């Protein structure tokens, strides 16, 4: 049996989806992101060459029929490595975003609900973490714990959740004074029950939009780390790493940087366009929010 409640939920989801896809920015953005995800999943099956096989006889060949995007300084096929270069990045940042949204959302709503001393202390700590530039914090974590995905996912998830705490807390403050929260409190519901049943449905939109934004920043942080040599280790194909490896030789072999640049930029722009369209479809104005 499908209840009335579920029907109205489905209706809302389909309305939001239609609204997203009726905007050109949303249409383009979502298509790019979905295309990237599909490529990331199936690329090992469709790439023409082995991503780590190097051959000194075919170093730095310009694009040709044999190698569509040319070869890099070790004679590896740039096309193959570009197709596979987003796999680690997408995996790490996707799960990182989930963690960030989960803990940031929960802590933010909790602080907004209980207020008082606990709220003050948590917000001061969050402020302190905000004052540390992301690059320094991520570098320290990576140097301490290494660059494996098991480290990067929780590290990025933790570090990028702090902004979500603020958004969730502010969204909670907007609804906390409403009657139904008072009613729930008067009925003697526990804090957890109020968060789950009353607050979460009301602040979910804001948190989801913020999470989508964080995804693109996380991707930026992840690829910057790779670029600086603190991310995934060679020979794993990764766009940031490919750009930093090809950069020194780009005066005569520009093709080895152009392909990863286009791939990474299109993914980040795609996520941003989708997040913008998503926010507009849900009726949330994000442009006022500070970029922290």
Partner 1 sequence: MFLLILKRLGLGFITIFLVSVIIFTGVEVLPGDACTAYLEREAKGELLEICREQLGLNTPAIERYLSWSYNALYGDLGYSLSGEKPINEIISVRVRNSLILAVTAILIGIPLAIILGIVTALWRDKFPDIFISTFAIFSMTIPEFISATILILVVAIWLNWLPGIVIVSSNSTVLELLPNIILPVIAISMVMTAHMLRMVRSNIIQVMSSDYVQMAKLKGVPYWKMVFIHVLPNGLLPAINIIALTIAWLLGGVVVTEVVFNYPGLGRLVIESISDRDLPVVQALALILALIYVGVNLIADLLTLVVNPRLRTLQIRK
Give the shortest CB-230-to-partner 1 separation in angstroms.
8
Nearest CA to 161 out of 202, 201, 111, 114 is that of 111
Using the rule CB under 8 A, give the single segment among 7-15, 63-71, 131-139, 182-190 that binds partner 1: 131-139
Tokens encoding 37 = 């995800």
Among 45, 57, 177, 290, the residue binding partner 1 under the rule CB under 8 A is: 290
CA distance linking residue 271 with residue 273, whole number of Å = 6
| Helix 134-145 with 200-228: angle, nearest 10 deg | 70
> Interface with partner 1 includes 45 (CB under 8 A)?
no
> Interface with partner 1 includes 127 (CB under 8 A)?
yes
Backbone angles phi, psi at 258, to 5 degrees: -60, -45
> Interface with partner 1 includes 82 (CB under 8 A)?
no
CA distance linking residue 261 with residue 107, whole number of Å = 36
In the complex with partner 1, which residue's Cβ is closer, 54 or 230? 230
Using the rule CB under 8 A, give the single segment among 4-12, 93-101, 180-188, 222-230 that binds partner 1: 222-230
267-286 positions binding partner 1, by CB under 8 A: 268-269, 272-273, 285
**Which H helix or E strand runs over 257?**
helix 255-282
> Interface with partner 1 includes 5 (CB under 8 A)?
no
Among 19, 73, 147, 224, the residue binding partner 1 under the rule CB under 8 A is: 224
Give the shortest CB-190-to-partner 1 separation in angstroms.
26
Cα 160 to Cα 119, 124, 240, 276: the distances in Å are: 19, 16, 20, 19
Cα 271 to Cα 245, 262, 290: the distances in Å are: 25, 14, 18
By CB atoms closer than 10 A (0-12, 13-18, 19+), residue 5 is exposed
Among 20, 153, 203, 264, the residue binding partner 1 under the rule CB under 8 A is: 264
> Interface with partner 1 includes 195 (CB under 8 A)?
no
Nearest CA to 82 out of 224, 245, 214, 215 is that of 245
> Interface with partner 1 includes 135 (CB under 8 A)?
yes
# residues near partner 1 by CB under 8 A:
47
Among 78, 84, 155, 243, the residue binding partner 1 under the rule CB under 8 A is: 243
Give the shortest CB-13-to-partner 1 separation in angstroms.
27
> Interface with partner 1 includes 60 (CB under 8 A)?
no
Nearest CA to 92 out of 29, 142, 27 is that of 142
Binding site for partner 1 (CB under 8 A): 123-125, 127-137, 139-141, 143-144, 216, 220, 223-224, 227-228, 230, 240, 243-244, 247, 250-251, 254, 257, 261, 264-265, 268-269, 272-273, 285, 287-288, 290-292
């Amino acid at each position: 049996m499908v209840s009335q409640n579920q029907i109205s939920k489905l209706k809302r989801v389909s309305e939001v989806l239609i609204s997203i896809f009726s905007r050109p920015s949303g249409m383009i953005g979502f298509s790019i992101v979905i295309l990237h995800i599909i490529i990331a999943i199936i690329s090992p099956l469709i790439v023409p060459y082995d991503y780590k096989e190097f051959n000194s006889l075919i170093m730095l060949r310009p694009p040709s029929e044999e190698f569509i995007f040319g070869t890099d300084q070790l004679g590896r096929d740039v096309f193959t490595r570009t197709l596979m270069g987003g796999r680690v990045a997408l995996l790490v940042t996707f799960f990182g975003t989930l963690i960030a949204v989960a803990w940031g959302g929960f802590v933010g709503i909790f602080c907004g609900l209980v207020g008082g001393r606990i709220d003050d202390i948590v917000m001061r700590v969050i402020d302190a973490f905000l004052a540390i530039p992301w690059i320094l914090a991520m570098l320290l974590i990576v140097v301490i714990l290494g660059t494996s995905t098991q480290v990067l996912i929780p590290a990025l998830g933790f570090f990028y959740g702090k902004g979500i705490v603020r958004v969730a807390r502010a969204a909670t403050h907007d609804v906390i004074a409403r009657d139904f929260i008072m009613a729930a409190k008067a009925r003697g519901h526990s804090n957890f029950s109020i968060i789950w049943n009353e607050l979460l449905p009301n602040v979910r939109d804001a948190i989801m939009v913020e999470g989508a934004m964080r995804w693109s920043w996380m991707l930026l942080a992840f690829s910057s780390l790779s670029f600086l040599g603190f991310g995934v280790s060679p020979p794993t194909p990764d766009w940031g790493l490919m750009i930093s490896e090809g950069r020194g030789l780009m005066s005569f072999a520009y093709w080895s940087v152009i392909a990863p640049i286009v791939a990474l930029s299109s993914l980040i722009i795609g996520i941003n366009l989708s997040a913008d369209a998503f926010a507009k479809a849900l009726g949330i104005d994000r442009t006022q929010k500070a970029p922290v």
